[in-house]
Amino acid sequence: MSMLGKPMDRVDGVLKVTGRARYAGEYPEEGLLYGSVVSSTIASGRVLRIDASAALALPGVVEVIDHGNRPPMAGDDEQYSDEDAADGKPFRPLYNDRVLYNGQPLALVVAENLELARHAGSLVRIEYVEHPWSSDLRAELGNAEPAPAELPEPRGDFDAAYAAAAYQVHATYETPAEHHNPMEPHASTVFYKADGSLEVHDKTQGTQNCQTYLCQTLGLEKEKVRVLAAFVGGAFGSGLRPQYQLPLAAMAALKLRRSVRVTLTRQQMFTFGYRPRTVQHLRLASDAGGKLVAVAHHAIGQTSRFEKFTEHVVEWSGMLYHCDNVKLSYDLVPVDLYTPLDMRAPGAALGLIGLECAMDELAEQVKMDPVTFRELNFSDHNQNEGKPYSSKALIACYSEGKARFNWARRKAEPRSLRNGRKLVGLGMAGGVWEAMQMPASAKASLGKDGTLTVSTATTDIGTGTYTALTQIAAQAAGMPPERITIKLGDSSLPKAPLQGGSFTISSVGTAVQQACEALHKQLLTAAASIDPDFATVTLERVRFTESALVWGDKQLSFTDLVHASAVEAIEVQVDAQPDKKREQFSTATHSAVFAEVEVDEDLGTVHVTRVVSTVAAGKVVNPKTAHSQILGGVVWGIGMALHEETLTDHAFGRHMNHNLAEYHIPVQADIGQIDVVFVDEEDTVVNALGSKGVGEIGLVGVAAAVANAIYNATGKRVRDFPITLDKLLDGPAHL
């Protein structure tokens, strides 16, 4: 029986619900010290003096580390590797006396317990000289400059096609900064070993990335640093780059030759990367029949003064629909805040807001149903790349979504449907996300007890990676899942890419599949050493049962094969690469999102009563965990549409709602019925598994679908996100 496509329970579920799954800030050790970060209270300037005398006078306070007494760093502030770094000079905590943003770590108090460390931190006094600064994207638009992005070249003649078109839309959409806020805050526990080596437990999406970072910044040998992340309590992109608690904890451990833990507070979770604020200008045009003839998407995003972080916001507008005249551009505005960071569905979650809202506005001008309009402009090629899609079941997503959602009840005229005093609106949007594959390695090891251990350095950030890889290994090895152990989250394991971009299963899953298949070859070789008859047998002629190799009436158990090999385990490691046949195609997941809203006519409050998300993601390895991924994405999309924004006090360059009470996200009462549908889609090009990944696609398009539904309910186009009741009530007393 095939294990792929089966709704298997999480193999790590019991560990998590019983509390036996340890996270980065939970590993114990006798004599462990605790660090508390002291943060900047200005947005730009220099530190003149740090007075830690009052803190150091407290019994139990061991040290206060700052730029003046930290351990040495290797090289300068440009010489280190980070797989998710932006162009520019990456930030290093305690590197010098410069203050680059409000909330920057300037000192670390190390004490015998966390409460004491935090109290001592409040006693540290810092004197500054302030420099002129600005944290407001809008105020700095005049300083925008082209981003260092590899954008598709313009195609056709946009200006001429737009000017001559029968219908045109020219609209500006704004999205706010958002912070990741996973349930588990960022933490690093660094165990200092007798030989001077470091065992680091970090909240990260890439253990090997963190290992490289620590070695290069602190001048350490790779053999002296091991980074582990067995369990990660959510990340959404916040763990792609090493965050500052990691080097601070390592510096303290090296300086004191003691084990140290640094855990960031919820407020400090707002002092590093975030989804950047954007201003997006969309110009779309069609002919009289509704065919797109011109698309221009210009986005402006904020970045820090020291790095040029570039989102992939506009590319989607050149690939989702067919259009021969396209112009895409992206500018950056430097501000005195930290560098933005990839956040779930980076770029697409923002760019599809602009594109799909503008598509809705253009469909209205053409007087065409929004779904029909999109079907008319379907493209089976990615025109940005000039390649056909390996598969694109988007039409099936539209069709299935319309049926499940009962789209036929939608009225084109806004304010046509009511539920008492509430206006009812129906809206939809399309979605797209690249189906990528990265090089990855995995090891399969069959022990004397007949159990299979598969290992790779990738992490599981809560997406179900342990479970999906168990299913892939069981399928490839022909063994039951209960006899398979997956080892993840360890920098000493076979190389794996960062977990992000929805490419973990495509990349690491392929490596696991190939490693288990290669193990079969090793077992056949071992069989030949026991029984010479097996020396002439090919893999195609033998069978592998749950515990034995079988050929005709001959059978050799796995345990016998391992024992005969005179090793503790038969092992094979595979370095998997993307298949060359991918190069001729463009690969992507697609979706169609349908949303129903009710808007209180007097109060302006919005409730999303129903969402149908139809997804084309190739072969879904585990529909149960994949379903949850889409559910989570839809909830987040509702939050993007109606709730979520980081509010910055530009008088201080400081984020104001830096807690989970004031940083608004949807709660249970905000969520109505969500229906998730995976349409059938076979793809033999994307990878041997046929899997495209679902981590990102569930979020893409949701906010636009909700916004379009709000317009259908009220007749008001709100282009400044999130769509809060004050924006809906702006103008007449009633909607």
Which residues are catalytically annotated?
A: 696
For the chain, counts of helices (H) and of strands (E): 16, 33
Distance CA 164, CA 162 (A): 6
Report strand pairing: 326-335 vs 278-286: unpaired
- Residue found under tokens 């024992």: 563
Q: HSE of 523 in the Cβ direction (CA atoms, 13 Å)? A: 32
Distance CA 465, CA 91 (A): 31
Report DSSP state, residue 8: P
**Of the candidates 463, 425, 396, 404, the residue with the CA atom closest to the CA atom of residue 641:** 425
Residues 507, 446, 232, 469, CA torsion sign: positive
Distance CA 262, CA 268 (A): 12
User: What is the CA angle 170-171-176, rounded to 5?
Assistant: 155
Answer yes or no: are the C-beta atoms of 479 and 8 closer than 8 Å.
no
Q: Look at phi and psi of residue 347 and say left if phi exceeds 0, alpha if psi is from -120 to 50, else beta.
A: left
Answer yes or no: are the C-beta atoms of 709 and 723 closer than 8 Å.
no
Q: Which amino acid is at 479?
A: M
User: What is the CA angle 271-121-646, rounded to 5?
Assistant: 20
Residues 398, 403, 408, 412, CA torsion sign: negative
Distance CA 342, CA 362 (A): 30
| Distances from the Cα of 385 to the Cα of 316, 376, 381, angstroms | 12, 21, 8
**Of the candidates 491, 493, 480, 490, the residue with the CA atom closest to the CA atom of residue 452:** 480
Angle between helices 702-714 and 348-366 (to 10 degrees): 30
Report strand pairing: 61-65 vs 105-111: antiparallel
